[in-house]
Amino acid sequence: MTTDKKDSFLKRLLKSLTKANELGQEDQIMTNHDYDGIRELDNVLPPWWLYGFYITIIIGIFYYVQVFTNPEEYSQEKEYINEVAQANKAIEVYKNEHPELFKVDVVLFTDAENLTAGKTIFLTNCVACHMADGGGGIGPNLTDDHWILGGGIEKIYHTISEGGRTGKGMISWKAALKSVQMQQVASYVISLQGTTPANPKASQGDIVWTKQ
């Protein structure tokens, strides 16, 4: 009994939403239109479709009223500006997370903390080619004023980041060191200029550069 009532309720609900005619009763909605023996049924639009259509009309009217009566609150220009601001914040977050992918403003560090950090990086990675005192070995002397690829914080940073001349052994360090670390070691290299290494290698390069 309960199942019958449930089935009956579902059938009534489905019928009310679709207003579909029972099979075998097509003659009740048959029109007089005849096309080569084909008769046309006069089915009504399903209520669920009509309800959805009416809802979209109501939403459209509401949106129209809101946009044109509250232009400051529902302004496309304001919406665009807000979205651009959000996008810029997201870009800054990405840049901070991946600084190696973007051009940075290279800074010459002169304070003891950064120079000490640069020295640690130098002694860990650079001594095999440049010696601990920067006098040079496989690589050039870093204490004189001659530079193969250019002196100055930006050019030295670029050499560390991108590597030296092709086939000469100086690798690119940008995959192993962060941007600030390369600035620290470049600043430390500059601090070595004018010092006296134990066994200085002869000057190399045509570019003469001084900190002044």
Cβ proximity of 134 and 141 under 8 Å: yes
Rounded to whole angstroms, the Cα distance separating 196 from 202 reads: 13
Q: Identify residue 137 by its one-letter amino acid code.
A: G
Kindly state the greatest CA–CA separation across the chain.
112
Rounded to whole angstroms, the Cα distance separating 1 from 55 reads: 38
Residue pLDDT, tens place only, 88-101 = 999 888 877 876 67
Average pLDDT, rounded, for the chain: 83
DSSP 32: E
∠ CA 117-119-125, nearest 5°, is: 105
Residue 33 pLDDT > 90, yes or no?
no
Residue pLDDT, tens place only, 103-162 = 778 999 999 999 999 999 999 999 999 999 999 888 899 999 889 888 889 999 999 988
DSSP output for 135-149: --SSSPPSSSSEESS
Domain residue limits, the chain: 2-69, 112-208
Residue 78 pLDDT > 80, yes or no?
yes
Per-residue pLDDT at 94:
87
Domain with residues 112-208, CATH architecture: Orthogonal Bundle (1.10)
Q: Identify residue 67 by its one-letter amino acid code.
A: V
What average pLDDT score do residues 184-210 get? Answer: 87
**208 falls in which pLDDT band (50, 70, 90)?**
confident
Per-residue pLDDT at 210:
59
